[in-house]
Amino acid sequence: MHILSTNQFKKDEVEKLLSRASEMEKSLRDSNTSKLLSGKIIACIFFEPSTRTRLSFETAALRLGANIISAENAMGNSSAYKGETIEDTARMLSCYADAIVMRHPAAGSIETASKVTETPIINAGDGANQHPTQGLLDLYTIQKEHGRLDNLSIAFVGDILNSRTLRSLVPLLTMWKNNKFYFISPKELVLGDEYRKYLNDNGINFEEKNNLEDCLSKVDVLYMTRVQKERFSNIADYEKVKDSFILKMEHVGKLKSDAIIMHPLPRVNEIDTEIDKEKRAAYFRQAQNGLYIRMALLLHVFNL
């Protein structure tokens, strides 16, 4: 099966994935990981840069006994450079690998690739559209940190318009009751009309804000995001908004004592490094959780 979007999952499937991720975490902690993917080959093909997603998927595969073939700059060092279509790339990869992990800058590209092959494809991010494995590791992080997935207030801060993190996590959190969302951004990066319609049509409780301090004392999860330079066609537009929200220690002091600060990483300057030593700073723990959820997802696509 392909993993293209968090919208494809039902709640019971998500709960099983979270449980399996917990099993993987325990097995690694106990140095007792089964080589369930022994003999499998996983292709990790990234047309956009990645540190955490690519390396955690490769580590997940290796921990489970699989072998890896990869391209970390596929836009420049694969046949895409010569004009090969994403469909033909997927066809070729399916000849060599048992599963494909793919990132691409164009929204919808991974779904396009999935239509020409039965080899499982996992979407590792397609432009500003979806990043389902990020959404699932975020959900796992919130569950670990708070012990629940309901009755939460979550604020997303920064580049709301282009955030595939937001688009991937919100559908998962709406599976649980009484969750409220705050979307905090400069006016140039507010929710797109289509996504705002999706939220309204599905009865999702949300507010849009332009001021970070409006929500600090209310939230259980403060999710900071990077203003994504690569999504801007005009560098002047990026420069205008890139420093709109910078989280500092004085902001952290206004958070609840058990609130957590998340970030998909990489960060640029939107979280002061002084905050790293704060117990509420969960973003490096969050990145570590990516390994466990991606081990669970690799097993999931092979029905193991």
Catalytic residue numbers, as ranges = 52-53, 82, 103, 131
Quote the CA–CA distance of 91 and 68 in Å, as a whole number: 18
Cβ burial 68-99 (10 Å sphere, 16+ → b, else e): bebbbebeeebebeeeeebeebbeebbeebbb
Contact between 241 and 268 (Cβ < 8 Å): no
Quote the CA–CA distance of 125 and 66 in Å, as a whole number: 22
SS3 11: helix
Q: Report cis status (omega within 30 of 0) of the bond before 266.
A: yes
SS3 218: coil
Contact between 130 and 123 (Cβ < 8 Å): yes
Pull the structure tokens for residue 52.
């955490």
Eight-class DSSP state of 269: S
Q: How far is CA 90 from CA 11, 79, 84, in A?
A: 29, 12, 10
Q: 71 has which bridge partners?
A: 45
SS3 271: strand
